[in-house]
Structures are given as structure tokens and as C-alpha cells.
Chains A and B, each alone.
Chain A
Amino acid sequence: MTITKRFWISLIFSLPMLIGMILMPFGIMIPGGEWTQFVLTTIVMAVAARPFLQSAWASFKKHHSNMDTLVAIGTATAYIYSIYAMFTNQSVFFESAAFVVTFVLLGQVFEEKMRNNASNAIEKLVDLQAKDAEVMRDGKLVKIPLSEVIAGDLIRVKPGQKIAVDGVITEGSSTVDESMVTGESMPVTKQVGDKVIGSTMNSNGTFMFKAEKVGNDTMLSQIVELVKKAQNSHAPIQNLTDKVSEIFVPVVLILSILTFLVWYVFLGATLANALIFAVSVVVIACPCALGLATPTALMVGTGRGAKMGILIKNGEVLEDVNDVKTVVMDKTGTITKGKPEVTDIVGNEEQVLTIAKTLEESSEHPLATAIMDKATKITIVDKAQNFQAIEGKGVQAQIKGQKAFVGNDKLLSDVTIDSELQKQMIKLQNEAKTVVFVGLNKKIIGLIAIQDAPKETSKEAIATLKARGLRTVMLTGDNERVAKAIAQEVGIDEVIADVLPGDKADHVQELQKQGKVAFVGDGINDAPALTMADVGIAMGSGTDIAIESGGIVLMKNDLRDVAKALELSRKTFNRIKLNLFWAFIYNVLGIPVAAGLFFAAGLTLSPELAGLAMAFSSLSVVTSSVLLNKTKIETKVQTV
């Protein structure tokens, strides 16, 4: 029998007693008196309350106890005593047992609804998936179910259709609304060679794309998996409630017996009154509000984050975010666009570019990409030999037997720079341009200046973080002058420049001595720092390994989301604390009142009221968690 059904049965059979109670002061009695009450309550106990008794007994046999233990003992005591009282002509309180069962069930009905509400964010995400796709098979386009699409398939997407799986556009172009995955509301233009994400919405163009990731490998599946894990993860604060709930029920039972003994043996109360106090204690002290406090808030908070394109991986991260004092950011790709462009060339342009292109051809460094873009017109005559990439410094190789190199000043240990070049280098660096040296035969033949402009949103993002009282630090492998120029442009306080990739984590560790650190980054070289930091925040556009290492993933690549993520985590964690506070306070205050400690002041709690209060406590905790969906995540500040 469902809880809802049990509730209705319980309510229907309790109602006559409620009406009787209301009419009693007017001298109207329900027909049958005690016998009617007995019959009605017996039905409630046998039908609606039986599962409580069964569950309580089953767990008792295993040396366990739960909320059902309390409900069962409370109501059974009231019921059995009333039968005894009925035969010995004393006042009965059958209605207490029936009302408590009704109220507890009412609480459970609502709670079940709310809990389902809290957990359905995930189902909504899964529902986003396309149901079928038009796939090229044997030279013809056929419509097949999503599950039959395999990697390598060519798929056609028409205007207004959902993109089935992740892949790369091979033909045509369009704009795509990726808001469901990234939270970014502006449609993105996609052309041949661009990646498309499964489950996003194609708007105006028709295009063909090659499926790369299907099934559980798609971005959406990965997100769903991540959010699921986060929602069910354990926040460290929960360890406390785990311990409490283990001993809670037996302790309450002991308290209730003590209440009875004190009233009956020492204060000389009647058996009935002493029992009422004892039953109230048992009924009010349900620990379920404590148990629900953390998981429900965690569920709603992480679910909401997912909708905004902020994936919080687990409850531990939420707690750590609260104490973060410093936000350390990687420069390239995080603060800047990560798409460097060549702006100036010093020296013989053709010669400089030819050597640079020859060397950088097989490099995957972002700066190399910029050089290759600039040098599209140049054709390479002589291939580079003995190619060597030196991490964090540059590349070198042999061209026609001559030693050539492209790299930063760290590569120039045995080469001197003449003062004219030096001056130009400083000038360019002060303009926030990264300078690359091109050399041949231990002589520098030219400079290439590359600029990676900050994202439009970075300045606002930094201002927001500062407004929250956070210290901002830029950590970069780039030259100090360039880094400082960028830092000034976006408003960052501190710069740690010239950092070799392997040393990023060490710098984070150094900063951790002064308080908890959040690190924001996107590259492979950021992974150790992301892991080392108390809170690792990975940019969603970043490499898989960076996303794997981060505790929070920002799908939108917008630095402003750092502040949003911090705010959301803080709000969620505060909600957990608030829930726990209420759940505790409620029991700490409720039990003494129920035990009759304030009897002299005229403050007591009947078992019925205790039952209502208990139902209300778990309900209020779940409601408070669901309301987390509605709280404002306000992070806007004025930037001048």
C-alpha cells in the first residue's frame, strides 16, 4: 500500500474523533463514546500504522532503530494504554495514537513529493537528448534511433532539429543554441571543422557532421554522470549527522523512559499523564530532518548549477569553497581568449617567418598556431631536422645544418641580445605582447610579437571576485612584463610570472600557506595545480585532463562564472548549515517541552501536536532545500 493511500485511510478514520473533540466543549458526544474511538483507532493502527510496526520490529531484530521505531513505540504505547484504561474506567487517549499516525503520514506524503522534486533536475537533462538522427548509410540518408548511431556516422541536421551526438561539421554551417549544455544563452556560429555538441539545438542552417562520440561518451552523458555523482556525494559535514543518527533513537527512548519515571515515581503524576509526556517525547524526536538536511540541499544546489553550466563535482568542494581566500588564475585561455595573434615582426619579415614556420610546423603550442596563421603564404623549402621541444622555453632544430631556434628569453642562455632589440622587446612587452625570439647560428635575427587579448568579460569577473573580498593572483609561464600589462588591464592584484609548467602546483602550495586557494585553469599543464588547490575550477573548453582534475567545471568558459560558482557553492553550503541548525534546534527545544519541563509555565505538548511538529520539521527542511532553486545568485558589480 502506498503512503498516500495509508494517509487517506488514516485521515478518514481519525476525522470522526477530531470532530468529536471539537464538539465536546458544546456537550455533544460522538455516539458509542470510547467504543467508537477504540474501533476507529484499531483500524488506523492495523491498516495505516502496521508498516511502521513491522519495520520497527524488523530493524529491532537487527539491533537497529529508525524513525519508524519511534512512531511505532509512541503510538503503540498510547493505543495499548488506552485499551487498558477503557476496561478500568479511566480516561483514554485513543485519538492521540490515530492523530500521530495521520500527521506522520501527512509529513511523509509531502516529503516524498518534495524529494522527487529535488532529484528531477537530472531527468530533465536526460530528456534533452534527441530521439533519432538522419544518418548516411550506404549512400542514403535514413532515420534511425539514437541508440543505433555509431562513431564515424555522417549525420544531417536540418533547421530546428536537435543535434544527436557529439561530432565535427563536415559540410554546411549554422548557428547552434548550446544553452542546455553550456548555459550560454547566445547562439554560437558553427562552420566546417567546428565541433558540435549532442542534444544542442540547431537553429537556421542545414549541415552534415561526423559523429565522434556516441552513447555514454557524449558530453551530455558525461555531464549527467558527473551531476549524479555530485548529487549523491557525501559532504564532510554529514559525518556529524551520521554519528548522531546512529545513537539518536535509543537515546530518545531512554529519555522518554526517564521522563516517565520522573513524572510517575518522583512527581507523583497519574499513570496516564506520565505516559502522555513519555509518548510526546518519543513522537517529537524524529531524526529524519537531520538526515534529509544535507542530501536534499546538495541535490538542489548541484542540479541548479548544472542548469547554469556550472558543474560542481561533489559536496566536499562545496565546503572548501566557503573558506577560499585567494583565487589564482592561469593566464592563457582563462583570462585571455587563448587565441594569440601575431601583431608585430621585428627584422626581415620573410626570413624571420620562414625560420619560425619551419620550426613550429609540428608544434602544438598556442603561440605556434599564431605563427602558422601568420605565415600561411610562406612555403617551406628546407625541412627541420633533430627537432627538439624544450618545455616552457621553445623549440630548436637544424635547418641546412645550421642551428635555428624559436623561443622565449629562457632559451637564450648562450646568446646575447643587442641593445636595440632589447629596447624593442621591452616596448612590445609593455604593450602586453609576448615576444618570441627567432635565431640562427647563435644570432638573433628577429622578434615576433604575439598578443593574446583578454576576454571581454575578464575585467568584470575580476572586479566581482575582488568585491567578494578575494585576493586575485595571476599565475603564468609568460614574461613578467606581458603578464603585468594584462593584469593591469583586467585589474588583477598580483602576478607570478615566468613560471615553468611543472612549477605551477608549487606556487599554489606556497599560496595555500596563507589560506585556502581556488585555482582556475584549462590546460594540461594546469592539471597538477587544479588538483593541488583546495578548489580546482576547470574551464569547460579545456583539455579533458584539466576537467578531470577540477572540482568545479565551467561549461561556458566565462571567467564571470567563477564568482557565480563560488556564490552558488556558498549558498548551498549555507543552506545545509541552516537546515542542520533547524533540525538540531528543533529537537533540542522540542524534547524538553514534550517532556513537560516547562509544565510549571503552562507550556506542554500533547502527542498529537508533537506528531504534527515532527511532520512539519522534515517538511520544512526539504522545502528549504527546494527553495534553493529560487534564491538569487547575484554577482553583478559595476566596473568603471
Chain B
Amino acid sequence: MTRILVLIVGLAVIGFILWWFFGNHQVASATADVTDNNQSVDIEVNGGYSPEVVTLKKGVPATINFTRKDASSCLDRVVFSDFGINKELPQNEKQTVKIDTNKSGEFQWACGMDMFHGKLIIK
């Protein structure tokens, strides 16, 4: 009897994992505030990036500020492969990344191990 119960619970947990990780969930996104020909966005790094999708305005110099709260070495670097940026993020320190917004398009950023991703939209 217990074994059947365990089986049912186990299968339910599998179902939950599938729904939780692969289901369609809303992602936090943000648009940069433009002030005095400058735009900036703050991103908190904690088990991923929040916001995960950042929209920047084309042609306006942009900075993205990363603050890593997470102790995991998984997230200790942030890499923008299209911009040649690979920045170390010491824990609980605000790190500024300058983005060249002359080209519009969608770009990815990722952690040093390419496990976590964020999206940058320039338009």
C-alpha cells in the first residue's frame, strides 16, 4: 500500500517538475529609463537575472548595472558575446556594463557557464 502511495506521489512530483520548468511562465522584463541622453537599467542577479529581458533605445548610450546577490559561482561572470564583454560580478557589488547601442537587434547575454540567459533588445 505504501509503495503504491509513494509511486503516485513520485509521479505527481515529476508532473510538477515538467510544469514548473517547461510550462509557459511570464518573464520579468524592463525598458530602460532615458535621461539626458543616457539610459540605464538595474539588474539583480539572484538565481537568474531579473529582469531577464531588457529593452534599450537605439543610439542612446546605455549602461546596465548588475548586482550579484547569489553566492553561486555559476553566476560570477556576465558575458555579452556580441559585444566582447566578459565581466566579473563580485558578490553584492554593483558592476556597470556599457552597451554600444548603435546597432539594433536582439542579443543574448549569459553567465560564464552559459547556464543562465538574458535577452537584450535594442530598437
Contact = CB atoms under 8 A, between A and B. Distances in A.
B47 A56 contact: yes
A249 B86 CA distance: 25
Contacts of B59: none
Contacts of B20: 60, 63, 250
A627 B73 CA distance: 23
Given A62-B48, A67-B74, A261-B7, A238 B17 contact: no
Interface string B70-112: 1111110001110111100000000000000000000000001
Contact of A260 (B10, B21, B47): B10
A248 B113 CA distance: 14
10 contacts: A56-B47, A67-B115, A115-B112, A119-B86, A250-B20, A250-B21, A254-B14, A265-B3, A265-B4, A295-B113
B112 A66 contact: no
- How many of chain A's residues touch chain B, expressed as a range? 35 or more
Given A50-B71, A265-B10, A292-B113, 7 more contacts: A62-B47, A66-B116, A111-B73, A232-B81, A245-B114, A257-B17, A291-B115
A232 B80 contact: yes
Interface string B1-20: 00110110011011001101
Contacts of B25: 63
Contacts of A144: none
A230 B50 CA distance: 27
Interface string A417-430: 00000000000000
A597 interface: no
Nearest to B86: A232
A242 interface: yes
Contacts of A264: 3, 6
B17 A59 contact: no
Contacts of B7: 261, 265
Contacts of A254: 14, 17-18
Interface string A356-392: 0000000000000000000000000000000000000
A54 B86 contact: no
A291 B112 CA distance: 8
A516 to B, nearest CB: 23
Contact of A291 (B22, B52, B85, B114): B114
Which interface residue of B7, B50, B70, B83 has the most chain A CB atoms within 10 A? Answer: B70
B88 to A, nearest CB: 10
Contacts of B38: none
Interface in B22-61: 22-23, 25, 46-48, 50, 52
A35 B87 CA distance: 45
Contacts of A59: 47-48, 116
Nearest to A294: B114
Looking at chain B's contact residues, is the secondary structure mostly helix, strand, loop, or mixed?
Answer: mixed
Contacts of B70: 51, 54-55, 58
Contacts of B47: 55-62, 64, 66
Given A112-B73, A265-B7, A58 B81 contact: no
A55 B74 contact: yes
Mostly helix, strand, loop or mixed at chain A's interface? helix
A265 B6 contact: yes
A111 B73 CA distance: 10
Contact of A250 (B4, B17, B74, B86): B17
Interface in A239-284: 241-242, 245, 247, 249-250, 253-254, 257-258, 260-261, 264-265
B113 A253 contact: no
A59 to B, nearest CB: 3
Contacts of A3: 73
Contacts of B10: 257-258, 260-261, 265
A88 B48 CA distance: 39
A68 interface: yes
A103 interface: no
Interface in B62-76: 69-75
Contacts of B3: 264-265
Contacts of B114: 238, 241-242, 245, 291, 294-295
Interface in A34-59: 50-52, 54-59
A128 interface: no
Contact of A52 (B18, B21, B23, B72): B72
B92 to A, nearest CB: 12
Contact of B72 (A51, A115, A230, A231): A51
Interface string A227-238: 011111110001
Contact of A261 (B6, B79, B86): B6
Contact of A64 (B13, B48, B84, B112): B48
Interface string A1-25: 1010000000000000000000000
Contacts of B117: 242
Given A67-B115, A264-B3, A288-B113, A58 B48 contact: yes
Contact of B21 (A54, A61, A65, A112): A65
- Most chain A CB neighbours (cut-off 10 Å) among B13, B50, B73, B115: B115
B109 to A, nearest CB: 10
A108 interface: yes
- What are the 3 A-B residue pairs with the smallest beta carbon separation, nearest first? A58-B47, A59-B47, A51-B71
Contacts of B115: 66-67, 245, 287-288, 291
Contacts of B72: 51-52, 55, 66, 68
Contacts of B71: 1, 50-51, 54-55
Nearest to B49: A62
Given A62-B50, A66-B116, A258 B84 contact: no
